[in-house]
Amino acid sequence: MTALLMQGFPPAEGGQVTLANWRTSPFNHWAFHHVREIVPSAEIANDPGNVRDLPTAPADLEAIAFNAGEGARTTFGQFLDASDTDGIVVIHRGRIVLERYGNGMTARTPHILMSVSKSMLGLLAGILAGRKILDLDKPVTAYVPEVAETAYRGASVRQLLDMRVGVAFDEDYLATSGPIIAYRKSTNWNPLAPGETASDLRRFYKHLAGSDGEHGGRFHYVSPNTDLLGWVIERAAGARYADLMSELLWQPMGAATSAYITVDRLGAPRCAGGMCTTTRDLALVGQLLIEGGARGGRTIVPESWIADITLAGSPSAWRQGSFLGYYPDIDMHYRAKWYVERGPRPLLFGMGIHGQNLFVDPRAELVIAKQSSQALPIDPSMIALTSRAVNAMREEMQGN
């Protein structure tokens, strides 16, 4: 079916990818690396004269075997097949040791990051905080007074960053009605019903008036928090989010290809999930973190910000949150839009629905960037298998 998607002039009706089906299988196999043909977007420009090319040292890593659960054994290559991998790049000690693409992806094809987009915002926020442009202790309403009559009243920028805002919102990706559908329509991700009036992302916030707890309490995953942060960032810096991401992160780190981000009908960026990058450039973000946020002696992301992500999150807030069941028996926290497995060998990672991941193991100098088109938005069994696969790779590379 994947080979028949969007083939022909026009494509056959059964193979057409549209705004109504682009996030469902099998249509997502094509859509996830053609997002700008479906949803409006803004370019995050790279600098062609400042590209960082990493050396390659291919290794037979797909043969790594590991326990897949319930006594079954599998290999890393079989895991890539089972998890609908569109692109994977593994960097070890500054060299690309594994690179593979499928479903029509190439090394220069931008693919949607889904909620790994949040982790990219977390780095941009750190850059702006380090430059004293963004004050994390200020209330959100100091930058965006338009949300003063919503559940965000009294919340700080830091609480938005750490997903510890007491706003009532059900992040149910399989819902067919309710606030999450209104949210998607406001961001141009879902089509309008016949006769329905177009909304926009910033007007959507007036619907989030209900509270379900105190600000600064448990980890409570709410995607609109991150889009609101994008609004805060634009107000604080006086510039478009896409331009800031380009100027402060994408160009200085040496991205090889321009990225882009989906926008609503008035240009508001979908910071929570709409950023699209190549797999190589996503891996390069992880390499930047391993190198302390600097390139060629120039600080891009403050090293203190990376240390704060690694060490300063709240395990207590995590344990009270709804994601605990996805990572049982793992000591974790969430900080500045990054997940962290705590301990002597911390693992930083971003995670997005349908199998988007960026894993960074600073001790092993290992980066794993994986972009996928899994059928389910959240698949607990696939999250568990991914965790096992990543740990097998970490163990393999730790000794090399």
Cβ atoms of 130 and 305 within 8 Å: the answer is yes
Residue 369 has pLDDT above 60, yes or no: yes
Q: Is the pLDDT of residue 170 over 80?
A: yes
Give the closest residue to 35 by CA, choosing from 274, 198, 383.
Answer: 274
- Determine which one of 41, 83, 115, 117 is catalytic: 115
Contact between 39 and 188 (Cβ < 8 Å): yes
Is the model's pLDDT at 1 over the cut of 60?
A: no
Instruction: Record the tokens describing residue 296, joined without a space.
Output: 């060629």
Say if CB 252 and CB 144 are below 8 A apart. no
Q: Please, how many CA atoms are within 13 Å of residue 351, restricted to the half-sphere of its CB?
A: 21
Q: In the chain, pLDDT over 70 holds for what percent of residues?
A: 99
Q: How confident is the model at residue 359 (pLDDT cuts 50, 70, 90)?
A: very high
State residue 2's pLDDT score: 63
pLDDT of residue 63: 97
Mean pLDDT, residues 351-361: 98
**∠ CA 378-381-383, rounded to 5°:** 60
Decide if pLDDT at 281 tops 90.
yes
Distance CA 23, CA 11 (A): 18
* pLDDT at 399 > cutoff 90: no
Helix 116-130 × helix 303-311 angle, to 10°: 130
Phi/psi region, residue 221 (left: phi>0; alpha: psi -120 to 50; beta: rest), is beta
Stated length of the chain: 400
Contacts 24+ apart (CB under 8 A), 10-16: none
The residue to which tokens 């830091």 are assigned? 158
| Contact of 201 with 40, CB cutoff 8 Å | no
Average pLDDT, integer, range 372-388: 97
Give catalytic status of residue 115 as yes or no.
yes
Confidence of residue 143 (pLDDT cuts 50, 70, 90): very high
* CA 323 from centre of chain: 16
Is 357 a residue whose pLDDT tops 90? yes
In sequence order, which residues have a C-beta less than 8 Å from that of residue 350 and are 6 or more positions away? 113, 115, 116, 118, 119, 120, 337, 338, 339, 356, 357, 358
The pLDDT score that the predictor gives to residue 75 is 98
Q: What is the pTM of this model?
A: 0.97
Q: Give 153-161 contacts, CB < 8 A, sequence gap 24+.
A: 154/215, 155/215, 156/215, 156/216, 157/125, 157/229, 157/232, 159/215, 159/216, 160/225, 160/226, 160/228, 160/229, 160/232, 161/122, 161/125, 161/136, 161/229, 161/335, 161/336, 161/337
Place of tokens 């965006």: 144
Over residues 64-90, the pLDDT tens digits come to: 999 998 889 999 999 999 999 999 999
Confidence at residue 3, expressed as pLDDT on a 0 to 100 scale: 65
88 close to 252: Cβ distance less than 8 angstroms: no
Angle between helices 279-290 and 116-130 (to 10 degrees): 40
**69 - beta bridge partners?**
72
pLDDT (tens digit per residue) in 106-128: 999 999 999 999 999 999 999 99
Contact residues for 203 (Cβ-Cβ < 8 A; gap 6+): 186
Mean pLDDT of the 365-374 span: 98
